[in-house]
Amino acid sequence: MDDRKLATLLLEHHAYNVVGHIRPDGDCVGSQLAIFNILKAKNIKCNIIKNDNYGSVLSQFLNGYTTVDDTQCNQTLPLICVDCSDFQRVGMNIRKKYNKPYLNIDHHISNDKFANHNIIDSSASSTAQVIAEALLHENVDFDKKTAEVLYLGIMTDSNRFAYDTTTLSTIRIVEALVAKGIHVSEIFQKVYERDTLQKYLLLERFLRNLTVFQEGRCCTSFITEKDFMETKAEPFDTEGFVNYTRQINGVMVGAFLEFHGTCVKCSLRSKNATLRMDLLAKKFGGGGHPAAAGFNIESNDPIFYSKFKSALAEHVRNILES
């Protein structure tokens, strides 16, 4: 954690830009909106920087908010990064505008503290939990609207409170958010009960590509750019697909790869934090948590998927042997 309080850091300037990572998830968007609301309550201007497509599910939560395109944002304003394990995650357009962000709020164990001020708690379930905990600890009042987006971040990044990162602190924070009057069932329905036919068509192809190997300990699957085009699915439709790879009986580690031209996006999950998915992701330029990590890489290698599977099997074997 930073040696200065979040509330103090947010009062340093008269206006900010707040950005999350590309391919945003619920924690990323919830954290952005929470920071916006907190600053607005203090009469401090804040621009929500849109650096990628939010998708139809997350776009619901942006109703009433104004976003600024990452190519048009005012780069003279201090930049707040949320839910970014490293500065690369904000995308090329933002990196061109900023040498160093003002504030970095995150919960990834692989975070390299790339900002002037860094509030990092790798034991937290989510960046939203880091923000909520700071607000509660520092007695910063916030409204129901802010509580809703903080709950969005915690719920989605903890996989509906199923991961080991869901601690007593997480539950106590959720209790405080519920006390603000939020309706947890409504938030749940907005995120998890809006599936499209296109998503299920894409899921069918994903399941068809499942492969179990390394004596049943590893499972991988993939989706190609062609699959997205033919099913007319959108990027956010793959949210949660990686969990299928880990849920198979006997599997210890699961991976899901998306191939978009030369861009490869990989999500990694394990049933045990000792299998250190963050270290495997780091070998490919990524990062994350011990049990949940990922990477994005450019590759023209036609057998990248095969090579990755070998690297995954070797990583698991080496850790189990040690």
Model confidence pLDDT, tens digit, residues 123-162: 999 999 999 999 999 999 999 999 999 999 999 999 999 8
Domain with CATH 3.90.1640.10 in the chain: 6-192
In the beta sheet, which residues pair with residue 82?
A: 105
Which pair of structure tokens corresponds to residue 265? 């996006």
* Domain topology for 6-192: inorganic pyrophosphatase (n-terminal core) (3.90.1640)
pLDDT of the residue at 184: 97
pLDDT of the residue at 1: 53
**Class of the CATH domain delimited by 197-321:** alpha beta
Model confidence pLDDT, tens digit, residues 264-321: 999 999 998 999 999 999 999 998 889 999 999 999 999 999 999 999 999 999 999 9
Q: How does the average pLDDT of the chain come out, rounded?
A: 95
For strands 287-288 and 45-50, give the pairing. unpaired
**The whole model's pTM is what?**
0.87
pLDDT of the residue at 236: 82
pLDDT of the residue at 322: 84
pLDDT of the residue at 147: 98
CA distance 208 to 105: 38
Domain with CATH 3.10.310.30 in the chain: 197-321
Residue 85 has pLDDT above 60, yes or no: yes
Model confidence pLDDT, tens digit, residues 42-68: 999 999 999 999 988 999 999 999 999
Mean pLDDT of 201-207: 98
Residue 81 has pLDDT above 90, yes or no: yes
Residue 2 has pLDDT above 70, yes or no: no
CA angle 181, 185, 191 (to 5 degrees): 115
